[in-house]
A and B are shown apart, each in its own frame.
Chain A
Amino acid sequence: MKKLLAVALGILTAIGGFLDIGDLVTNAVVGSRFGLSLAWVVVVGVVGICVFAHMSGKVAAVSGRATFEIIRERLGPRAAGANLVASLAVTVLTLVAEVGGIALALQLASSVDHRLWVPVAALAVWLVLWRVKFEVMENVTGLLGLALVGFAVAVFLLGPDWGALLDQALTPQVPAAEGQATYWYYAIALFGAAMTPYEVFFFSSGGVEERWSVKDLATSRLNVLVGFPLGGLLSISIAACAAIVLLPGGVQVDALSQLLLPVAQAGGKLLVALIIVGIVAATFGAALETALSTGYTLAQYLGWSWGKFRRPVQAARFHVAMIVALVVAVGVLMTNVDPVAVTEYSVVFSAVALPLTYLPVLVVANDPEYMGEHVNGRAMNLLGTVYLVILVVASVAAIPLMIVTRAGA
């Protein structure tokens, strides 16, 4: 019974913790411009993150070591250093977006300007990182993030033409008002949002934090294979809400506040309040994960003591790295930059950095020296290789498409 409860909790937190500001913004933007014609990208992204999260979780459980420790050992300091710089830059950019997302969500509940909330949000993130246990932190934000199920409820309450929605999703077409290049630019942005690199660093380091062993592999697999696809359904619900209300209304999403309009239409103030709680929890949880990921990658590369299972005094440089990342995030957001624009750029740059994160995971998962009898099977390697090709194509195409489409304008 206790084991069953643990599995259920893991799945629920995986669902609630799946979405972050990148998913929220990108799905809403895409839904308001393309309807559900890019829903297939979410499916591709969810399968991809399942494949690689499972692999990195397995590496952590079998070897007892996190991704970046092994990347440095396996690829050498120079190649791993280049990987570190790119991954760290994308992760810090994502952290900026997440802290901005918390501030925007708090603005929705208070009407107080988000710039005033930014330092408060960053301070709260730091306090949780400093004081709260890893499991508590992960479970509370994940469970509160489940409030975003409100988007799925909203889709049903809006009573859409299901046939038309399914048609948009199953026979995707580029709308007349949009160009092919813009369509593919947003496809890459959605893919980047679903497969953000920090998720792998966090997942594998979290496995070490929670002291996973081979015995925990089945639970980890269930969390990933059930939790993430259900989280993906929430992503599609956000796009569906935008497609049902905002697209016909001529609203192009460029602010988080616009996400509330379909929800208000569907379920009134109660559902709006629920969604705001969900957005705060999802962005707060993701801010914790990205801040931790900056500490993890840096500490694992440089061989510092790391982890929340240690007291801060025993992993001082790990905690300082996270504080510096948070200070950078506050500094960037205080320049009056638009957090939604930062989010849009962060998901595209995530797509650019994807192969750097995922190739080493695939390499290590095939190395008997680390994995012993648990090396990848043929099916997993086939899937991993197919995804690696997709990742490389997305990575190479991202910047040219950003230039050609003027960042999707």
Chain B
Amino acid sequence: MRRHARGALVLAAATALAGTLAGCGPAAHRADARGALESVAEHLDTASSAVATVQLAVDQAVAGRLPAVSADVAASDAAEGATDAVHGLGTIVVPDAAVGGADAPALRDQALAAAGQAADAVAAVRTWLDADGPPDALLAQLDDAAAALDQAHGAVADAAGIPS
């Protein structure tokens, strides 16, 4: 009776271990293309938020309503967020599969390119704050980055069935 109990305990522990590895291990990420695309969408949200933040900061700085030091901190925080999004997207393993009729790795690549463009645009804000020149070119660059992010997010959301 005791031996059976011990055997059952070992079996339960082995099943739990196997379940944990299957559920949380890298295989789970590879197997779940939809989940990977959800993570891609989250990183795109982070990058979009960073771009929207600096757009507001630049508008306020140009209007003379936000002190230069505070604008610099906002731009620096946004740059950190945008860079984190690029790094995050770079580390997501997307399975080589079609999701919702779209090629998942291609969607990830599109997202990575858009996030990279956003990170460059956000970084340019800090340079602009130092130089204090006309903001037109910078705002256009930010608008382009925002549009690229929107487009990438839309494509990912359509494929993964996420509300955009």
Contact = CB atoms under 8 A, between A and B. Distances in A.
A127 interface: no
Contact of A260 (B45, B55, B70, B76): B70
B52 A251 contact: yes
A316 interface: no
Contacts of A254: 46, 49, 77, 81
Given A251-B49, A251-B53, A261 B69 contact: no
A21 interface: no
Contact of B42 (A176, A246, A409): A409
Contact of B56 (A261, A267, A276): A261
Nearest to B77: A255
B81 A255 contact: yes
B57 A261 contact: yes
Contact of A111 (B45, B46, B48, B72): B72
B159 to A, nearest CB: 17
B163 A269 contact: no
B26 to A, nearest CB: 17
Contact of B66 (A177, A272, A409): A272
B73 interface: yes
Contacts of A250: 48-49, 52
B65 A108 contact: no
A111 B65 contact: no
Contacts of A139: none
A315 interface: no
Contacts, number: 78
Interface in A251-276: 251-252, 254-255, 257-258, 260-261, 264-265, 267-269, 272-273, 276
B73 A261 contact: no
B158 to A, nearest CB: 15
Contacts of B163: 176-177
B60 interface: yes
Interface residues of A, number: 28
Contacts of B64: 268-269
Interface string B77-121: 110110000000000000000000000000000000000000000
B73 A269 contact: no
A108 B49 contact: no
Interface string B25-69: 000000000000000001001101100110111001000111101
Contacts of A409: 42
Contacts of B77: 254-255, 257-258
A178 B49 CA distance: 15
A205 B46 CA distance: 43
A110 interface: yes
Contact of A110 (B45, B69, B76, B80): B69
A245 B52 CA distance: 11
Contacts of A276: 70
Given A254-B81, A272-B70, A409-B42, A264 B53 contact: no
Interface string A30-68: 000000000000000000000000000000000000000
Given A107-B73, A265-B65, A269-B67, 8 more contacts: A109-B70, A245-B56, A252-B46, A255-B74, A255-B77, A255-B81, A269-B64, A409-B42
Closest 6 CB pairs of A and B: A255-B77, A264-B66, A111-B69, A257-B74, A268-B65, A250-B52
Interface of A: 107-111, 176-177, 245-246, 249-252, 254-255, 257-258, 260-261, 264-265, 267-269, 272-273, 276, 409
29 contacts: A108-B69, A108-B73, A109-B69, A111-B69, A177-B163, A249-B55, A250-B52, A254-B49, A254-B81, A255-B77, A255-B78, A255-B80, A255-B81, A257-B74, A258-B74, A258-B77, A260-B66, A261-B56, A261-B57, A264-B60, A264-B65, A264-B66, A267-B65, A269-B66, A269-B67, A272-B66, A272-B67, A273-B67, A276-B70
